[in-house]
Amino acid sequence: MSPIATDCCADPKQKLLSVEQGRDRILQAVHSVTATEQLHLSAALGRILAKPVVSTVDVPSFTNSAMDGYAVRSQDCTDTRQADLSVVGASFAGAPFAGTVAGGQCIRIMTGAVIPDGADTVIMQENVRRDADRVTFITKDVAAGQHVRYAGEDTRCGDTVLGAGIKLGAAETGLLASVGVSEVSVTRRLRVAFFSTGDELASIGTTLAAGQIYDSNRYALHAMLAKPAIKCYDLGIIPDQRAAVREAFQQAAEIADLILTSGGVSVGEADYVTETLGELGEINFWRMAMKPGKPLAFGQLGNAVFFGLPGNPVSVMVTFYQFVLHAIRKMTGETLHDPLLVQARCAVDLKKSPGRMEFQRGILKMEKDGSLLVSTTGMQGSHLLTSMSRANCFIHLPAESTGAQAGDLVSVQPFPDLE
């Protein structure tokens, strides 16, 4: 990592770094935690698999019926209008039929019940006329093997069901349970310490003095970090004093893998973050070619990775989603994926000057014809948190773009992709 003097946002002549360049540099510099822990499946939601899971069973483990009806031999049903079969038993889920179905016979069967020997096809009960222990068929079309679920068609014994790096969501949890896995190896939780800097900041629950504002960044950061794979350390508000900033950094570096701060990375007179980081760690100060979120500090403080996010609340959220989230994914061992962008038609004109990539806040909706339409949340100042709360997506406007006109297609990043 290059030292502060060669890479400082205080130098206005320094070339702006593109969002992609910034993300690449960050991803190259951070590493996955190596420690793992063994958890019961029920405690592993949201955690990242450290090892692949290989199935020791077939799923389904036996060939079974997909319908309530009658299990038959397909050769008896080539002409269903003529077929007249005798019902010789029943197979219920969990209570299989012990015998074999012979020619001219069938058995009553329920969804999930074992297909008995001799039978190979299921006719749903709605297509059957039953009279005591005999059935005839209302339906003409019977395909051999219909409504049968075969052993191993979901997962085979020996298959890798989930690879390392997968985040365990609801589907993955169900899948692992379906192959009988009770314990999984996951990466240990990432320790993230964060604090706000600024003499103007007051805590919620107190009355504002003249010139004070409520510290919102710490709460937004905490909300974005509140995930099972992360352990948060909220270090509060640090005043703009050299000694206090220094002490907070040292404390954070002792407990955390990742340190996030907001504020104090511009070049104002009270911005001690920049100065202190230069003394304590190896930090780059980047001028990002993006809006919002131009100043960004990134580097190493002791063993911890450090992000000094801008102070403005929208800049904090944008830089978190565009940079920090990717670093967290890599650090927790999660497989990385490119942001999911969709194309949507602009409902309004979007103003922009060329030079920096913009992440405008948008409201994406689907039209009656299924097409996607995006409108703006209105004023886009980086201090306007309402622009984030009203939005459900970022509209990506590339650096060279001069804006968009109503009807133009634009790239949109929906917020669910950011979770």
Judged by the rule CB under 6 A, the positions of this chain that interact with ligand AMP are 196, 198, 200-201, 213, 215-218, 262-266, 268, 310-313
Nearest in space to 410 (alpha carbons), one of 396, 391, 392: 396
191 interacts with, out of ligand AMP, Mg ion, none, CB within 5 to 8 A per kind? none
Query: Pick from 367, 43, 67, 32: which is nearest to 375 by CA?
Result: 367
Which does residue 262 bind out of Mg ion, ligand AMP, none, counting CB within 5 to 8 angstroms by kind?
ligand AMP
Specify the residue, 155 or 262, whose C-beta has the smaller distance to ligand AMP. Answer: 262
| Distance of closest approach, residue 37 Cβ to ligand AMP, in angstroms | 33
Instruction: Please report how close the Cβ of residue 287 comes to Mg ion at its closest, in angstroms.
Output: 17
Question: 264 or 281: whose CB is closer to Mg ion?
Answer: 264
If phi over 0 gives left and psi between -120 and 50 gives alpha, with beta otherwise, what is residue 26?
A: alpha
213 touches, from ligand AMP, Mg ion, none (C-beta below 5 to 8 Å by class) = ligand AMP
Q: How far is the CB of 111 from ligand AMP (least distance, A)?
A: 56
Minimum distance of Mg ion from residue 53's CB (angstroms): 47
Got the DSSP string for 257-304? Answer: SEEEEES--SS-TT-HHHHHHHHHSEEEEEEBSEES--EEEEEEETTE
| CA neighbor of 411 nearest in space, from 347, 339, 348, 341 | 341
Cα-flanking dihedrals φ and ψ of residue 5, to 5°? -65, -30
Residue among 261 and 401 whose Cβ is closer to ligand AMP: 261
Q: What residues make contact with Mg ion under the rule CB under 5 A?
A: 198, 263-264
> Inter-axis angle of helices 272-280 and 242-255, to 10 degrees?
50
Q: By C-beta, is 221 or 327 nearer to Mg ion?
A: 221
**Rounded-to-integer distance, Cα 54 and Cα 251, Å:** 42
- Round to whole Å and give the CA distance between 161 and 178: 10
Shortest approach of Mg ion to residue 200 CB, angstroms? 7
Q: How far is the CB of 219 from ligand AMP (least distance, A)?
A: 9
DSSP letters spanning 106-131: EEEE-TTPBPPBT--EEEEGGGEEEE
CB of 295 to Mg ion, least distance (A): 11
| Binder of residue 26, out of Mg ion, ligand AMP, none (CB less than 5 to 8 A by kind) | none
Q: Which does 111 bind (CB under 5 to 8 A by kind): Mg ion, ligand AMP, none?
A: none
Q: Which two tokens stand for residue 10?
A: 């205080």
Question: CB-wise, 161 or 309, nearer to Mg ion?
Answer: 309
In angstroms, the CA 207 to CA 201 distance is 11
Chain center to CA of 356: 27
User: Taking CB within 5 to 8 Å according to partner kind, which of Mg ion, ligand AMP, none is near residue 216?
Assistant: ligand AMP
Q: Which is nearer to Mg ion, 22 or 263 (CB)?
A: 263
Beta-carbon contacts of 141 under 8 Å, excluding residues fewer than 6 positions away, are 80
CB of 308 to ligand AMP, least distance (A): 9
Nearest CB to Mg ion, comparing residues 141 and 269: 269
Which CB sits closer to ligand AMP, 123 or 201?
A: 201
CB of 1 to ligand AMP, least distance (A): 22
Residue whose beta carbon is closest to ligand AMP: 311
Indicate which of Mg ion, ligand AMP, none lies near residue 407 (CB less than 5 to 8 Å, by partner kind): none
Question: Least separation, in Å, of the C-beta of 305 and Mg ion?
Answer: 22
| Comparison of 272 and 321: residue with beta carbon closer to ligand AMP | 272
Residue for token pair 């692992």: 176
Dihedral of the CA atoms 191, 197, 200, 202 (nearest 10)?
Answer: 20
Residue 2's alpha-carbon distances to 5, 44, 163, in angstroms, are 8, 38, 35
Residue 93 binds which one of Mg ion, ligand AMP, none, with CB within 5 to 8 A depending on kind? none
Nearer to ligand AMP, 131 or 269 (CB): 269
362 binds, among Mg ion, ligand AMP, none (CB under 5 to 8 A by kind): none
In 22-137, DSSP assigns E strands to 36-40, 53-54, 64-65, 69-72, 84-91, 105-109, 121-124, 128-131, 134-137
293 binds, among Mg ion, ligand AMP, none (CB under 5 to 8 A by kind): none
Q: Bridge partners of 365?
A: 373
